[in-house]
Structure 1
Amino acid sequence: MTGEIDYGNLMHAAMRSLIKTVLEQVGEIGLPGNHHFFITFDTNHPDVQIAQWLQDRYPGEMTVVVQHWFENLVVDDEGFSITLNFGDSPEPLYIPFDAVRTFVDPSVEFGLRFESPEDEEEESPVLYEVTDEDEAEDTPEEDSGESKDAEVVSLDSFRK
């Protein structure tokens, strides 16, 4: 055992468990009310399973929207599979929880972001608040170059 408690990895595990629980509930009862999710994941993760044309189009990172139409949402201990519609073409995906970079439910201004080691020297999870300006329409908008005013709270600021 090391001389320190690894709070960063413990927080990541807890946040991934939260995502797992939410997706299990949605798989059982569907999306309640206005809830919907923007899930960004690493397409290069070795256990991600997506169509080759999606891998070619999104070679590093991809964001999917779970909202109006989805099928076959199945959650296991390591990740989830889901069928989403891409231009009237249903595509099955498998996304491991370890590949998830952000999980956002803009309907309740909730979001999780997982920092990667490339983002900062020590990996630390970040909770952030989604503002009305961050909530996207059903179709993605082009990047206008303007920054969004989301409040980012790094857990590092609470560490001693």
Structure 2
Amino acid sequence: MHEPEEFRYDLMVDQALRGVVKQILTRVAKEGLFGEHHYYVTFQTNHPGVELPDAQRKAHPDNITVVVQHRFWDMKVTDEYFSVGMSFDGMPTVVVVPFDAMLAFVDPSANFMLTFSVEEEMDDDDFEDDDEEPAKLTADPASRSKPAAESGEGGEVIALDAFRKK
């Protein structure tokens, strides 16, 4: 008779919380954003299955934060990943993010934040990289003909510390 394996409660909870993000993004894909809701999604750029423009991957070799707010299109959600059309420096592209690559999901309008483990155990220090500025990506179908750079809208850096429970 062999010793039963211990439950990995941490992994079970992590997967359940990724399911919450899938539910949220599935609703956004079908219905669009509602109210003041918008989302910051931080993910590993070097994770298998991530599709991101090479320039962004070079500028952010470890992780990047994208913003789903004003300008995005063609969001698709599967069991394994989500994809969304966004603009980088005025150039439209499709970003593909496996749910297993996510490090954080934030809805600042609801003061809601989830953080995730990716392969190795992560702690709060993994999200505090003051030397690297996250990219802000937003896009919507109406703005495809008017890139953010031409519209006068600039990106902004968002400190996720404000959403962390102390």
TM class, shorter-chain normalised? 0.7 to 0.9
Alpha-carbon distance in structure 2 between the residues aligned to 1:79 and 1:105:
19
**Shift of residue 5, structure 1, vs aligned partner:** 1.7
Ranges of 4+ aligned residues in structure 1 off by more than 6 Å: none
Alpha-carbon distance in structure 2 between the residues aligned to 1:74 and 1:102:
19
Structure 1 residues 46 and 38, CA gap change in structure 2 (3 angstroms): same
Partner of 1:37: 39
CA RMSD between the two structures: 2.4
Q: Could you tell me whether the CA contact under 8 Å between 2:111 and 2:163 is conserved in 1? A: no
- Normalization by structure 1: what TM-score? 0.75
Provide Cα deviations, 1:22-46, integer angstroms capped at 9, x if missing partner. Answer: 0000000000000000000000101
Greater percentage in strand: 1
Q: 2:69 aligns with which of 67, 86, 89?
A: 67
Alpha-carbon distance in structure 2 between the residues aligned to 1:51 and 1:90:
10
Structure 1 residues 9 and 148, CA gap change in structure 2 (3 angstroms): closer
Provide Cα deviations, 1:60-115, integer angstroms capped at 9, x if missing partner. Answer: 10000000000110000101010112222111110000000000000000010113
Structure 1 residues 58 and 105, CA gap change in structure 2 (3 angstroms): same
Structure 1 residues 2 and 139, CA gap change in structure 2 (3 angstroms): farther
- Which one has more relative contact order, counting CA pairs under 8 Å at least 6 apart? 2
How is 1:11-90 mapped onto 2 (pairs within 5 angstroms)?
11-90=13-92
For structure 2, the 5+ residue unaligned runs are 124-135, 137-153
**Shift of residue 57, structure 1, vs aligned partner:** 1.2
Q: Secondary structure at the match of 1:41?
A: strand
Structure 1 residues 5 and 37, CA gap change in structure 2 (3 angstroms): same
Alpha-carbon distance in structure 2 between the residues aligned to 1:74 and 1:95:
11
Q: 1:96 aligns with which of 95, 98, 107?
A: 98
Partner of 1:152: 165
Query: Which amino acid letter does the alignment assign opposite residue 33 of structure 2?
Result: L
- Identity score, percent: 35
Structure 1 residues 2 and 42, CA gap change in structure 2 (3 angstroms): farther
Partner of 1:8: 10
Aligned residue-pair number: 134
For structure 1, the 5+ residue unaligned runs are 121-135, 154-160
**Shift of residue 140, structure 1, vs aligned partner:** 1.8
